Amino acid sequence: MENPRFIIKVAVLVILGLGCTPSEDSKSNKNSLLKLSDLQFADFEKDSIAANNIDTTFLIFKSNTRQYKFNDVLGYDVYDSSGRLKVNCKFLYERYIRCYDYDSNSLSIHKYYGAEFSDDNYMTYKFLPDIHILEQFRKGDFEDTAFYKFDAKGRIIKSLEQDERKKKKFTIYEYNQLGQLARRTITFLVSKSWLMEEEIKGAYFPITNITDFFYTGTHLDSTITKYLNKSRPERNYFSRTYYDNRGLKTKTIEFDKLIIVYNHKIRRN
């Protein structure tokens, strides 16, 4: 008798279009199977980070709100010499920080919080080359926490991720004719009751986030993200991120007034 959890997993993957059938390429040539090191996670900034020898990028808030003040540090990213992300940290509330550590394959392997929180998570992975799917597990927990689907070239095309509150995030990646990331669509799969609880608290939760990428030739100029909720269209908004001629992020503007600038620190050899 089949494992019920396996049956549910297959059903979820098929419904979401992640697919569980071996690709024609893998059927015809077993020697051409993707390896873990071949996988590309739409890390379109990696080459620019490496070319400019960037070690750390700080996110600096240049507005004033009830939660954040002018010049507050919202978070930071640390990179290795090849431009791959090593550490990503974000300050969510006062003295509340959430961080991820990444390995050399750009996979998150450790999620942890500030000193006041002890909820550490360690992630492990299993790659299924026949169907181009990478599974993520929390260490000590055999339940999947994420699936990542790749095309025959190793580019990520879809993913399904689940957080600690069982909220699921489904992402689709689309590429242009030059192989550049053109659009990323994130849809949160949440229940109506959860949404109603958020609205009772006065919170606005965008169900769908659509990011479009704009290029001049091979150079990324900017991205625009639209945050959408069909039940509350009057509160939909967008943000725009700008890049300089080196391919590095310079600033993000939300609501036409909230500004985040990116302070890049060069690596000291």
Convert the pLDDT of each residue in 95-121 to its tens digit.
Answer: 678 899 999 888 999 988 776 555 678
For the chain, the first-to-last Cα distance in angstroms comes to: 59
The whole-model pTM stands at: 0.85
Whether residue 208 is contained in a domain is answered as yes
What is the count of structural domains for the chain?
1
Tokens of 165: 């509150």
- Per-residue pLDDT band for 82 (boundaries 50, 70, 90) equals very high
Whether residue 67 is contained in a domain is answered as yes
DSSP 8-state assignment for residue 28: H
Least confident of 131-135, 158-162, 171-175, 230-234: 230-234
Q: pLDDT (tens digit, 9 = 90+) per residue, 1-57? A: 444 455 445 555 665 566 655 555 445 455 568 888 899 988 889 999 999 999 999
Whether residue 27 is contained in a domain is answered as no
Tokens of 63: 């507005």
pLDDT at 7: 45
Range of the domain at 255: 43-266
Whether residue 190 is contained in a domain is answered as yes
Whether residue 47 is contained in a domain is answered as yes
Q: Any residues with CB less than 8 A from the CB of 133 and at least 6 apart, and which?
A: 13, 18, 19, 20, 127, 147, 148, 149, 150
Whether residue 195 is contained in a domain is answered as yes
Whether residue 177 is contained in a domain is answered as yes
Q: What are phi and psi of 52, to 5 degrees?
A: -100, 10
Average of per-residue pLDDT values in the chain: 84
Q: pLDDT (tens digit, 9 = 90+) per residue, 162-211? A: 866 667 889 999 999 999 999 999 998 877 777 777 776 666 677 899 99
